[in-house]
Amino acid sequence: MWTRERLQTLVEEKLQDCLFVVVSNREPYVHSHAHGAIQCQVPPSGLITALDPVMRACGGTWIAHGSGNADKETVDERDRVRVPPDDPSYTLRRVWLSKGEVDGYYHGFSSDALWPLCHIAYTRPTFNADEWSTYKAVNERFAQVVLKEVGARRAFVFVQDYHLTLMPRILRDANPNVVVAHFWHIPWPNREAFRVCPWQHDILDGLLGNHLLGFHLRYHCNNFLDTVDRAIEARVDRDRYQITRGEKKTAVRPFPISIDFEEVARRAGGPDVEAEMQRLKRSLELEGRILVMGLDRIDYTKGIPDRLRAIDRFLDRNPEYRGKVVFIQTGVPSRVHVPAYRRINDEIDTLIDEINWKYETGDWRPIIDMRGSQSAVTLMALRRLASLAIVSSLHDGMNLVAKEFVASSLGEDTVLILSEFTGAARELTDALLVNPYSADQVAEVMREALEMPLEERQRRMSRMRAIVRENNVYKWAGDIVSGMVGLRSGG
């Protein structure tokens, strides 16, 4: 079993002569001014949920965009701050970007071109040449910061996600002492979908600067091999999952990401969570009612309107559940500068209003809208109170929310309805798997879930807990670190 200690030992034994650097767009701790003081917050992001425990175990340096309005006041003269604030165990090195750069590189090319391109959720990507230029310039800037950080030392650089596709090539060409690995947190689409990107060659060439490139699923690895095979000059070895371009090799491997199971389960059982559960039961009038939960970063890939339509269908078909079932949707809005994200928020508002208006009676409303920032304790209490959790993504690389529901189900009696289009569905086969595009099917499965005997609920949840406990985030990181070390010794 992988644990934080085992990962620490691996890092101490294998990386002791090396610097370990993580690079991502999003920073794990954001400092901002609030109520006359400086507050430190963890952004809602799957990448951070997974990597923060790993960095706590490994130490090293995390390089990321400093996005908080008090970030500059909290770093030293070399733009560094030790984090987490309550238990400093690694260094955060902030990179500063202008508003124009954030617009072009992040809201523009990353969020409005690459994100919809890789998720088949029927939102059209927007390709804009100015945004692409800014994206290239920002990748170059990040690369220069990394090269300076590394200097003449041997280093492992672990790059995250689709914001930094061009950087691996720059690093590998500039410094032969660096081993570069990259983890792609979202799906890699089939080659027909990817080829509409006008700059596909540059992106593929950038990614083939990596020594190791990881995806959640073998299916995404295969899509990547197909895309490279069709789009650029390279030798694709499908038996060894290896690509050679200009004599340089890239290993392509699946590494299904996960959570710190034991830590989530420990927090779920904390006395503060128990107290918050009692408070929420009273204030939300949940006593005697069945709670169904949805918790997502608000994003059009998460299938929130589809879930609401399924709830409408469920209440329409099963009037005996009216007054008994309460659905809570929570999660923070994200990327609100991108028009498609503003539209999804408006669509959710309208659907919640319509459904509540249609069914509400007396003191009962079917949907409680808790979108917006909630404390970690409140979110955990809601997970624990839920009889049923619905994850209905239209397409999702993995989906850590599903794994968090599993880890928080201490009574092993929660039922998970899970979209078959998430990476998590490959592991959590004891969830009730659904096609979120079919409101009829999801409504039918909701009824099945609510009527499932306790023994079956427990049997399914207990198996899922065993899987997430074993395939935890330390295994994910341990496999990647071992892969990087193997490449260094094996060439």
Site string for ligand GDG, 372-391 (x = CB under 6 A): --x-x--x------------
Which of the stretches 43-51, 146-154, 433-441, 471-479 binds ligand GDG when contact is defined by CB under 6 A?
43-51
**Residue 410, CA distances (Å) to 93, 268, 280, 415 in order:** 37, 8, 18, 12
Measured from the CB atom, is 45 or 472 closer to ligand GDG?
45
Select the residue whose beta carbon is closest to ligand GDG and give its number: 46
Query: Is 50 one of the binding residues for ligand GDG (CB under 6 A)?
Result: yes
Least distance from ligand GDG to the Cβ atom of residue 224, Å: 16
Query: Is 368 one of the binding residues for ligand GDG (CB under 6 A)?
Result: no
Report the C-alpha gap between 298 and 308 in whole angstroms: 13
Contacts (CB under 6 A) with ligand GDG, residues 75-134: none
Report the C-alpha gap between 12 and 176 in whole angstroms: 23
Query: Is 185 one of the binding residues for ligand GDG (CB under 6 A)?
Result: yes
Q: Map residue 386 onto helix, strand or coil.
A: coil
Contacts (CB under 6 A) with ligand GDG, residues 276-295: 295
Please say whether the beta carbons of 309 and 405 come within 8 A. Answer: no
Tokens of 287: 């006593």
Report the C-alpha gap between 168 and 181 in whole angstroms: 8
Least distance from ligand GDG to the Cβ atom of residue 147, Å: 26
First to last CA, the chain: 29
**Residue 470, CA distances (Å) to 2, 3, 243, 467, 475 in order:** 7, 9, 31, 5, 8
Q: If you compute the radius of gyration of the chain from its CA atoms, what whole number of angstroms results?
A: 23
Query: Is 193 one of the binding residues for ligand GDG (CB under 6 A)?
Result: no
Report the C-alpha gap between 236 and 229 in whole angstroms: 6
Query: At which residue do the structure tokens 């910061």 appear?
Result: 145
Please give the helix or strand (H or E) that residue 418 lies within, else none: strand 415-419
Report the C-alpha gap between 149 and 128 in whole angstroms: 32
Query: Is 400 one of the binding residues for ligand GDG (CB under 6 A)?
Result: yes
Query: Is 398 one of the binding residues for ligand GDG (CB under 6 A)?
Result: yes
Report the C-alpha gap between 250 and 212 in whole angstroms: 5
Which of 297, 322, 463, 488: binder of ligand GDG (CB under 6 A)? 297
Measured from the CB atom, is 50 or 251 closer to ligand GDG?
50
Residue 252's nearest CA partner among 212, 199, 312 is 212
Least distance from ligand GDG to the Cβ atom of residue 177, Å: 28
Tokens of 184: 């792609």
Which of 24, 45, 111, 409: binder of ligand GDG (CB under 6 A)? 45
Please give the helix or strand (H or E) that residue 450 lies within, else none: helix 439-450
Please say whether the beta carbons of 384 and 406 come within 8 A. Answer: no
Which of 181, 212, 344, 401: binder of ligand GDG (CB under 6 A)? 401
Strand-pairing partners, residue 294, are 329
Which of 20, 22, 24, 49: binder of ligand GDG (CB under 6 A)? 49
Least distance from ligand GDG to the Cβ atom of residue 401, Å: 4
Which of 18, 19, 30, 47: binder of ligand GDG (CB under 6 A)? 47
Measured from the CB atom, is 58 or 452 closer to ligand GDG?
58
Contacts (CB under 6 A) with ligand GDG, residues 232-271: 257
Measured from the CB atom, is 138 or 257 closer to ligand GDG?
257
Contacts (CB under 6 A) with ligand GDG, residues 320-349: 331-332
Which of the stretches 88-96, 267-275, 345-353, 398-406 binds ligand GDG when contact is defined by CB under 6 A?
398-406
User: What does the binding site for ligand GDG look like in residue numbers (CB under 6 A)?
Assistant: 44-47, 49-50, 185-186, 257, 295, 297, 331-332, 374, 376, 379, 396-401, 404
